[in-house]
Amino acid sequence: MEEEIRLMKGNEAIAHAAIRYGADGYFGYPITPQSEVLETLAELRPWETTGMTVLQAESEVAAINMVYGGAATGKAVMTSSSSPGVSLKQEGISYLAASELPALILNVMRGGPGLGTIQPSQADYFQAVKGGGHGDYHLIVLAPATVQEMTDFVALGFDLAFKYRTPAMILADGIVGQMMEKVVLPPQRPRRTDEEIRQQCPWATTGKGTRKHRNVVTSLELDSALMEKNNERFQETYKRIAENEVRYQEYFTDDAEYLIVAFGSVARICLKAIEDARAAGLKIGMIRPITLWPFPTARIAELGKQVKGILTVELNAGQMIEDVRLAVAGSTPVEHFGRMGGIVPNPNEVIDALKNKLSVNL
């Protein structure tokens, strides 16, 4: 398959991108608003072309543990779900992190808590960037704002997961999952051969074969001194990720007097608000974190010294704002504007929030 321009939903793009990346397996369970991922994979039948395994599991719990089993054998495996389902996956995600296994997890967030709503939300920010499951660990968290980024972050997520041997998450919202946009699908990459996997993943439990040593994938270590060493190794990995993998995009920050911080689809609504405000003479800029973990702390700290105030706009009650406040460390006021329960703000509401919360005169 060559590079191809198509019009499709973000969820469908994920399925195409997974096949074209040369992923080895997808394990999932239906839940709105992301069921199109599994449906599209089933329709595309990659097991007949690339040999990719696609399996509808009996639960989210089983699906993430299938990902754990596949990842343990060095394969590029993924799952997808939406908020309530991702809560069920947290046990498995903690085990993936603790066993230093690469994997890709997609969360197309819907409104919560509980069963909540099927409408878009960003209320799983804390769960994604602060751990989610038990123990000290981080996920690499990528926040797509477009269907193109949904596509591109499949490859980026897998590549980072394998580079650092840690699970990565695409934290999308229901808007990016459900909306249709033009997208450039990458050309087909061949799946790695078993021999390539043995070379690239000398830790993989593929059966001992001709290897001199056997491999054991486990997160259990009852000797506290050794368990602390394991934790130190995890933290060293997170430090390297934080130093090398921060990604963000800036808009109109050169002359900005006020700053918006927003991620995912909300950043696009904010961009329209900024254009309207600039037409009225107000110099507002925006930074859109692409990696929510690692967070663009250093750049936001710099911008905090430049601007008179910061507004975070989120589809939640105020979660990312905590990381923005930690970044600026009191150098400038940071306020939050959010809608919850599946409501998406319009650009005028964002401008009103700037006026009211940061006392900006328009």
Partner 1 sequence: MTREEIIRPENKVYGRPELLMPVHTHYCPGCSHGVVHKIIAELLQEMNVADKAVGVAPVGCAVFAYNYIDIDWIEAAHGRAPAVATAASRLNPDALVFTYQGDGDLSAIGTAETIHAANRGENIVIIFINNAIYGMTGGQMAPTTLLGMKTATTPYGRRADLNGYPLAISPILASLDGTCYVTRQAVHTPAAVRKAKAAIKKAFQNAMAKRGTSVVEIVATCNSGWKLTPAQSNDWMVENMFPKYPLGDLKNVEPQQ
Residues that bind partner 1 (CB under 8 A): 24-25, 27, 53, 55, 57-59, 61-63, 65-70, 72-73, 75, 77, 91-92, 95, 99, 194, 205-210, 214-220
Our CB check for partner 1 shows the closer of 99 and 265 to be 99
Residue with tokens 């769960």: 127
Candidates 98, 94, 44; CA nearest to 227 is: 98
Our CB check for partner 1 shows the closer of 93 and 303 to be 93
Our CB check for partner 1 shows the closer of 73 and 316 to be 73
Size of the chain, expressed as the number of residues it contains: 362
Q: How far is the CB of 27 from partner 1 (least distance, A)?
A: 6
Q: How far is the CB of 57 from partner 1 (least distance, A)?
A: 7
Candidates 86, 76, 77, 78; CA nearest to 33 is: 86
Q: How far is the CB of 55 from partner 1 (least distance, A)?
A: 7
CB contact at 8 A, 204 and 21: no
Our CB check for partner 1 shows the closer of 77 and 169 to be 77
Q: How far is the CB of 113 from partner 1 (least distance, A)?
A: 24
Strands 284-289 and 248-251 come out as antiparallel
Our CB check for partner 1 shows the closer of 27 and 258 to be 27
Distance in angstroms (rounded) separating the CA atoms of residues 340 and 319: 12
Q: How far is the CB of 63 from partner 1 (least distance, A)?
A: 8
Candidates 79, 80, 95; CA nearest to 32 is: 80
Q: How far is the CB of 93 from partner 1 (least distance, A)?
A: 11
Our CB check for partner 1 shows the closer of 50 and 291 to be 50
Q: At what angle do helices 224-244 and 83-98 cross, to 10 degrees?
A: 110
Handedness of CA 194, 197, 198, 204 (dihedral sign): negative
Give the dihedral of Cα atoms 151, 157, 159, 162; nearest 10 deg: -150
Spacing of C-alpha 50 from chain mean position: 25
Our CB check for partner 1 shows the closer of 148 and 230 to be 230
Q: How far is the CB of 100 from partner 1 (least distance, A)?
A: 13
Q: How far is the CB of 266 from partner 1 (least distance, A)?
A: 34
Our CB check for partner 1 shows the closer of 47 and 252 to be 47
**Strands ordered across the beta sheet of 140-142:** 53-56, 25-28, 77-81, 103-109, 167-173, 140-142, 291-293
